[in-house]
Structure 1
Amino acid sequence: MMPFNTKRLSSLSLLLGLALAGCAGSNEPGTAAYLLPASSAEQRHDARLTVLVAPVALAAFLEGDGIVMQLDDIEVHQARNHLWAEALPEQLRRLLLDRLSASLPQAQVIARGQPSAGNMPAREVRLQLDRFQGRFDGMALIQGHWQLLNGRGELLEQRAFRLETPLTADGYPALVRALAGGWEQLADQLAASLVASLAS
């Protein structure tokens, strides 16, 4: 049995309060819209390749405008007053493109469907997100799986991921920043896997 943790109880109370406050109609004053922030990539890889990034696929419950909170082990709530300022899949793909471009400065990193130079080895990145939410214990949770394919569409690697990032403060802004930090960690892992795929 877990020991009584007042900090955890405080986080739970706050997150429940935030989720319930979001139940009010989105036309009421106090509605906030959020964009995922970006930071500089610290590690850069020396690799020449073309990276095609497919649209990010989301679980159905993540597709709305509201930021998702997990209230306990089974219940999730989509906020009505704390919204994504832009559709989440588009934000995630743009951040992934930017992060991979920074991590792989000699690579051509483009959205799938855009024209490519065609003279470098090609890799396609596909991502499925099953969790992208705040959690009742004060953590931001990102979970899903990714695939790397070669230029002929053959599967090179497939991996599941689960990233948990603690919130540094209370509230939705801290949650958005923690989710962005987890997404950047995932992008860095993908950059390393893309480089490794050239040697296999």
Structure 2
Amino acid sequence: MKYLRHIVSVFLLSAIVSGCALLPESGNAPVQLQLMPLLQESRRNVVEGIDTPVLVIERPQSTAALNGRAIWFQSGLNQLSPFRDHIWSESLPQQIEHLSIDYLSGRLSQVSVHMDRPGIDSDYRLRIHLHQWHLDQTSQRLLVVIHADLLRADGQRVVSWQWQHSEALMEVSAPGLAAAGQVWLQKWLDQVADGLQEYL
């Protein structure tokens, strides 16, 4: 009987501890996760004319780790590890580029927003640097550090912004990180749109 009680106690203790730790990764093939299109006001049509400023969103620059499809968590002091059973469907810079163009096209009035590609002449360019985007096990939050510059066509900087924020996770896991990233990206692009409206 004492042995049974001991086993139950160990099981309960391990369940409590695991509630504060990373959920185990044990699948065979990685599950692909992605950020979804963001909520926005009803899309308006930009009437492009001679006075319509053109804004190009460049592909975000990032660290080598974030430029791949791995999803990262902080496994120790100054140590990041990738989730084994989950990966992004495409890299974060690609996802942020596509979602930013779609969202800012709907939010900015009288501005024509485009992807950076040959043949597009722009009045302004938004250059984004993604420095951190990972799950911190200690705080159980998504940590993000991102920088953005608004540049004129000649490369002259108009304004710079720096964000260093965290977002709570409903679940300490790769899907929990993706869900928190969805919430954070919505807040961030709201701030970006508000900031751009002052200069465009």
TM over 0.5, yes or no?
yes
Q: Name the residue aligned to 2:180.
A: 178
Correspondence 1:33-48 to 2 at 5 A: 33-42=32-41, 48=52
| 1:144-187, Cα deviation, whole Å (9 max, x unpaired) | 21100112221011121112111123432221021122122222
- Contact (CA 8 Å) 1:100, 1:187: kept in 2 or not? yes
| 1:108-150, Cα deviation, whole Å (9 max, x unpaired) | 11112254476xxx22100111101111122111102110011
Correspondence 1:141-156 to 2 at 5 A: 141-156=143-158
Q: Deviation at 1:84?
A: 0.7
- Contact (CA 8 Å) 1:52, 1:112: kept in 2 or not? yes
Q: Name the residue aligned to 1:125.
A: 126
User: Is 2:116 aligned against 1:112?
Assistant: yes
| 1:63-88, Cα deviation, whole Å (9 max, x unpaired) | 23221111244221112221011222
Q: Distance in 2 between matches of 1:102 and 1:88?
A: 21
Correspondence 1:90-101 to 2 at 5 A: 90-101=94-105
Pick closer, same or farther for the CA change 1:80–1:169 going to 2, 3 Å.
closer
Identity %: 23
Q: Name the residue aligned to 2:57.
A: 53
Pick closer, same or farther for the CA change 1:57–1:141 going to 2, 3 Å.
same
- Contact (CA 8 Å) 2:140, 2:169: kept in 1 or not? yes
Q: Deviation at 1:10?
A: 5.6
Q: Name the residue aligned to 1:135.
A: 136
SS state of the match for residue 199, structure 2? helix
Q: Name the residue aligned to 1:83.
A: 87
1:98 maps to a residue whose letter is D
Q: Distance in 1 between matches of 2:193 and 2:124?
A: 11
Q: Distance in 2 between matches of 1:11 and 1:153?
A: 49
- Contact (CA 8 Å) 2:38, 2:99: kept in 1 or not? no
1:134 maps to a residue whose letter is L
- Contact (CA 8 Å) 1:142, 1:183: kept in 2 or not? no
Q: Distance in 1 between matches of 2:102 and 2:20?
A: 34
SS state of the match for residue 198, structure 2? helix
Flag the structure with larger Rg: 2
Specify every segment of 5 or more residues in structure 1 that has no aligned partner in the other structure, as ranges: 1-8, 23-27
Q: Distance in 2 between matches of 1:124 and 1:55?
A: 11
